[in-house]
């Protein structure tokens, strides 16, 4: 798939994310919008996933479970779930729970939401595939606030101890968490050196550039015998001017005026204007 | 023959290693004590030590189950049920994953390590979680069968195991039935409903009471969740008085579970033998059981109180 086509998908996902959260009147737009290109790249270029139930599929774990709307949006684009679900996010009896629930929605590989647990889950999957000598690979998307959790570092040790080269973590490094900037809440830098010290191969990339993401994932394929993390620099709220780099948009829904403005900014799906979602 | 339920766990794991290629075992640097080392000896490639990291122990087990394995994850009850509680709740039980948590060194009989290591609230913590099965075997035969049955059951299971050797309650002919309490002695005056190592004390209490002309029914509840409601209600109807006995806090454990059933269905007077909302301490297991009144004599005393109502 060409980058232009991926851009169209990204734009559609952004609009669906905002529509879901606007209709729900709650949800997490900031960290969903920052991960759009990463998710598009994973589901359209990197992972082997033709169906959400195929045994040979690669697995994706959304460790930052509050980014549920971006996962739902990509599953919709892939045709794994219906776009009719858009107005049901966070509503009673919906398959689109506030945080992903694998029992309710096909395509969700693990129920997440309580932070810091997804990397361990991904490790377990990767161990099982290695044990069975299966080619399936495992990908986990981590938030840069989430990695404050100690369990992430327990999992980071395990992944390198067991040489999990079928595991790739992607860090959605948007620099913000609920209470503000990472460095004001809890310093995570030098995050690359930390993972290197834990025995990981570290790749830095620009998380809104498909070209840059492609380079990163291609580099990852050349590394054997160890887990890898792609640290993707992103912009929280990317594609929606008034949300970009604003911690306040971590977990807040747009009102009607804000929603309309955001949708207008993004332009029509399918046109070739930059709209939101691409600066690569 | 006296044998610890954790020993039986190790033996059951060895059998599972041979019989089921999907079984994997995880431990958090306590494999010699939890007896998962027995599995490691025969199937090292399917054994994963996660280091001293109980949250990761449970999370990794969850991932293994999602890729088709049947993981048994072990640590001491304090760290498995306690430290990893929220991971068990959200990552294992919420999606009903096929993860077995076999927690050893439960209760006061950890002994000399003291109060910091004596889990007296794990049954309470585990049984409050939806989807979770909670099993507390009374002797080594029951423990071995419970482990083998847990491997067949699809869904999360918490198995509570002890450090100390416990007397046999059963013979080789015993057949463990999932979710069914076991009537060990029949009686008409009172029912003693016990779990874990307190079952042997309940049987001793039955003999002491017999000498006083009190005829006590003795029931072993090995599966605390889902609990055998029918057997408990029948006991309440037949004897009109109940004493529960457990090596666990009187808050939230077997006693509470029985009270919940009776309150819903058929209230009768009930006294609980257990740890009275206090922490344990260092000491020999037998001395601790005496000091904290987890004894046949205490069951007898409570029986004599409860039948006065």
Percent of chain B with pLDDT over 90: 99
Q: Mean pLDDT, to the nearest integer, of A99-106? A: 98
The helix (H) or strand (E) run that includes residue B220 is strand B216-220
SS3 B263: helix
CB atoms B64 and A162 under 8 Å: no
Q: What is the mean pLDDT of chain B?
A: 98
Q: Is B45 on the interface with A (CB under 8 A)?
A: yes
Two tokens at B37? 């080392």
B228, B181 in Cβ contact below 8 A?
yes
Which CATH number does the domain B5-160 belong to among 3.40.640.10, 3.20.20.100, 3.40.50.2300, 3.40.50.970? 3.40.50.970
From chain A, the residues in CB contact with B24 under 8 A are 128, 131
Phi-psi region of A111 (alpha: psi -120 to 50; beta: other; left: phi over 0): beta
CB atoms B51 and A111 under 8 Å: no
Residue with tokens 């999932």: B178
Of the two residues A275 and B21, the one the predictor is more confident about is: B21
Instruction: Provide the CATH number for the domain formed by B182-306 in this structure.
Output: 3.40.50.920
- Nearest of B296, B298, B254 to residue B107 by alpha carbon: B254
pLDDT above 80 for B167: yes
Q: Is the pTM of this model over 0.90?
A: yes
Residue B54 is among the residues annotated as catalytic for this protein: yes
Query: Taking the mean position of all CA atoms in its chain, how far away is CA B164?
Result: 13
Strand order in the sheet with B47-49: B47-49, B23-27, B70-76, B100-104, B157-160, B133-135, B223-225
Query: Taking the mean position of all CA atoms in its chain, how far away is CA A9?
Result: 15
Pairing of strands B100-104, B70-76: parallel
Two tokens at A96? 């689109």
From chain A, the residues in CB contact with B25 under 8 A are none
Q: Is A164 on the interface with B (CB under 8 A)?
A: no
B47-86 residues touching A, CB cutoff 8 A: 48, 50-51, 53, 55-56, 58-69, 71, 86
CB atoms A124 and B67 under 8 Å: yes
Collect all residues with Cβ–Cβ distance below 8 Å to B243 and sequence separation of at least 6.
B190, B191, B192, B193, B270, B271, B272, B273, B299, B302, B303, B306
Q: Mean pLDDT, to the nearest integer, of B117-132? A: 98
Kindly name the residue from B7, B11, B38, B54 that is annotated as catalytic.
B54
Which residues partner with B133 through β-bridges? Answer: B157
Question: Do you know the residue count of chain B?
Answer: 309
- CATH 3.40.50.920 residue spans of chain B: 182-306
Q: What ipTM does the predicted assembly reach?
A: 0.96
List the single residue in A113, A128, A157 with the smallest CB-CB distance to B64. Answer: A128
Domain boundaries, chain A: 3-266
- CATH 3.40.50.970 residue spans of chain B: 5-160
> What's the pLDDT at A267?
86
Cα-trace Rg, chain B: 19
pLDDT in tens, B19-61: 999 999 999 999 999 999 999 999 999 999 999 999 999 999 9
> What's the pLDDT at A269?
74
- For CA atoms B181, B185, B186, B190, give the dihedral sign: negative
pLDDT in tens, A124-181: 999 999 999 999 999 999 999 999 999 999 999 999 999 999 999 999 999 999 999 9
pLDDT above 70 for A276: no
CB atoms B59 and A109 under 8 Å: no
Q: Mean pLDDT, to the nearest integer, of B100-108? A: 98
> What's the pLDDT at A27?
96
Backbone angles phi and psi of B172, in degrees to 5? -65, -20
Residue B68, number of CB atoms within 10 A of its CB: 14
Residue B291, number of CB atoms within 10 A of its CB: 13
CA distance B221 to B240: 18
From chain B, the residues in CB contact with A158 under 8 A are 50-51, 53, 56, 60
Binned at pLDDT 50, 70 and 90, residue A270 comes out as low
- Nearest of B136, B243, B144 to residue B197 by alpha carbon: B136
CB atoms A102 and B61 under 8 Å: no
Distance from CA of B26 to the nearest CA of A (A): 10
From chain B, the residues in CB contact with A119 under 8 A are 59
> What's the pLDDT at A268?
82
CA distance A162 to B214: 60
CB atoms A158 and B94 under 8 Å: no
Q: Mean pLDDT, to the nearest integer, of B85-96? A: 98
Residue with tokens 């290591």: B117
pLDDT in tens, A207-241: 999 999 999 999 999 999 999 999 999 999 999 99
pLDDT above 50 for A277: no
Q: What is the mean pLDDT of chain A?
A: 95
> What's the pLDDT at A271?
54
Place domain A3-266 in its CATH homologous superfamily: Thiamin diphosphate (ThDP)-binding fold, Pyr/PP domains (3.40.50.970)
CA distance A222 to B116: 48
CA distance B216 to B210: 8
Q: How far apart, in Å, are the Cα atoms of B47 and each of A86, A95, A126, B148, B212?
A: 43, 36, 14, 17, 53
Backbone angles phi and psi of A196, in degrees to 5? -60, -45
Greatest pairwise CA separation for chain B in angstroms: 59
Collect all residues with Cβ–Cβ distance below 8 Å to A86 and sequence separation of at least 6.
A16, A19, A20, A23, A76
pLDDT in tens, A41-92: 999 999 999 999 999 999 999 999 999 999 999 999 999 999 999 999 999 9
B247, B198 in Cβ contact below 8 A?
yes
Question: Using CB atoms within 10 A of its CB, is residue A178 exposed (0-12), middle (13-18) or buried (19+)?
Answer: middle
B127, B97 in Cβ contact below 8 A?
no
């Amino acid at each position: 798939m060409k980058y232009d086509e991926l851009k169209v998908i990204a734009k559609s996902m952004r609009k669906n994310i905002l529509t879901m959260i606007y209709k729900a009147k709650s949800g997490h737009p900031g960290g969903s919008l920052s991960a759009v290109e990463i998710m598009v790249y994973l589901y359209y270029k990197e992972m082997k996933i033709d169906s959400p139930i195929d045994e040979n599929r690669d697995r994706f774990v959304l460790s930052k479970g509050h980014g549920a709307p971006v996962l739902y949006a990509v599953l919709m684009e892939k045709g794994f779930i219906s776009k009719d679900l858009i107005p049901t996010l966070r509503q009673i009896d919906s398959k689109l729970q506030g945080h992903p629930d694998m029992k309710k929605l096909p395509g969700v590989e693990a129920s997440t939401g309580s932070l810091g647990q997804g990397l361990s889950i991904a490790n377990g999957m990767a161990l099982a595939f290695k044990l069975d000598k299966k080619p399936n690979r495992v990908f986990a998307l981590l938030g840069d606030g989430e990695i404050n959790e100690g369990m992430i570092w327990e999992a980071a040790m395990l992944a390198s101890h067991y040489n999990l080269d079928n595991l790739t973590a992607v860090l959605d490094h948007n620099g913000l968490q609920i209470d503000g900037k990472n460095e004001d809440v809890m310093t995570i830098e030098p995050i690359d050196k930390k993972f290197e010290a834990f025995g990981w191969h570290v790749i830095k990339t620009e998380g809104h550039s498909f070209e840059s993401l492609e380079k990163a994932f291609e580099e990852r394929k050349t590394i054997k015998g160890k887990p890898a993390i792609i640290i993707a620099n992103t912009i929280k709220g990317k594609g929606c001017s008034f949300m970009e780099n604003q911690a306040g948009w971590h977990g807040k829904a747009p009102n009607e005026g804000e929603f309309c403005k955001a949708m207008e900014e993004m332009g029509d799906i399918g046109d070739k204007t930059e709209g939101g979602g691409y600066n690569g | 023959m006296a044998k610890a339920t954790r020993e039986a766990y190790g033996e059951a794991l060895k059998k599972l290693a041979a019989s089921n290629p999907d079984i994997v075992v995880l431990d958090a640097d306590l494999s010699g004590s939890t007896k998962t080392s027995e599995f490691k000896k025969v199937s090292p490639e399917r054994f994963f030590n996660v280091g001293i990291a109980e949250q990761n122990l449970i999370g990794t087990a969850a991932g293994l189950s999602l890729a088709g394995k049947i993981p048994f994850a072990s640590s001491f009850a304090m760290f498995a049920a306690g430290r990893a509680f929220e991971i068990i709740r959200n990552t294992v039980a919420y999606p009903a994953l096929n993860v077995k948590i076999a927690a050893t060194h439960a209760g006061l009989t950890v002994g000399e390590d003291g109060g910091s290591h004596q889990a007296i609230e794990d049954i309470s913590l585990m049984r409050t979680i939806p989807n979770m099965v909670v099993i507390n075997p009374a002797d080594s035969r029951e423990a071995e069968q419970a482990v083998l049955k847990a491997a067949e059951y699809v869904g999360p299971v918490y198995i509570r195991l002890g450090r100390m050797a416990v007397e046999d309650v059963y013979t080789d002919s015993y057949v463990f039935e999932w979710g069914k309490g076991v009537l060990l002695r029949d009686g008409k005056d009172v029912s003693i409903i016990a779990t874990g190592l307190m079952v042997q004390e309940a049987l001793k209490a039955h003999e002491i009471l017999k000498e006083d002309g009190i005829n006590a029914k003795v029931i072993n509840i090995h599966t605390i969740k889902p609990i055998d409601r029918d057997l408990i209600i029948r006991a309440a109807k037949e004897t009109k008085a109940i004493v529960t006995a457990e090596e666990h806090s009187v808050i939230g454990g077997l006693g509470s579970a029985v009270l919940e059933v009776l309150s819903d269905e058929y209230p009768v007077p009930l006294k609980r033998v257990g740890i009275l909302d206090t922490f344990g301490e260092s000491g020999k297991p037998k001395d601790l059981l005496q000091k904290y009144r987890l004894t046949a004599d205490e069951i007898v005393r409570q029986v004599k109180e409860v039948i006065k109502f």
